[in-house]
Amino acid sequence: MKLENTGIEDLVLDVKTLTRVMESKGFMLGGSWDYERVTYDYKVESNETNITHYVRIQGYALEGDVDKGNAVIKLLTPILGRHYYPHGVEYGDTEEFSKDLIDKAHRLIKNVQPPAEANQVEQ
């Protein structure tokens, strides 16, 4: 599920600042990054058996390399997904989430927005 109008989509930051801000708020840099993309996940436990939810914030490099730490990252629209053990995470539009979970996801995203003095990069 796309989490539209969060204010974080299209934000541009250097990767070091972005990672510092995200990790300070509990989002972890995914191991599947490459030279051009990053993924930050926040794990939200569920009362349902073998179900975990994830708030995912993704971005791609406008310039530089992620692995070298000199990338300038543009963030995409955050998404909310449900992990079905042992099959994987579903982020599709057909997934249904409670209002409480959606509200929590929006609060988490709002919480990671870097302060104005952070190293934001002009587009």
Residue at 33 is within a domain: yes
Residue at 117 is within a domain: no
- For residue 74, give the nearest of 120, 27, 6, 32 by alpha carbon: 120
Specify the CATH number for the domain of residue 25.
3.30.310.100
Residue at 97 is within a domain: no
Residue at 5 is within a domain: yes
Q: What is the pTM of this model?
A: 0.85
Domain count, the chain: 1
**Local confidence pLDDT in tens for the 123 residues of the chain:** 999 999 999 999 999 999 999 999 999 998 766 778 999 999 998 777 777 899 999 999 999 998 888 999 999 999 999 887 777 676 767 778 889 999 999 999 999 976 554 545 554
Residue at 22 is within a domain: yes
The residue range of the domain holding 42 is 1-86
Which residue stretches of 1-123 are H helix? 15-24, 99-111
Residue at 31 is within a domain: yes
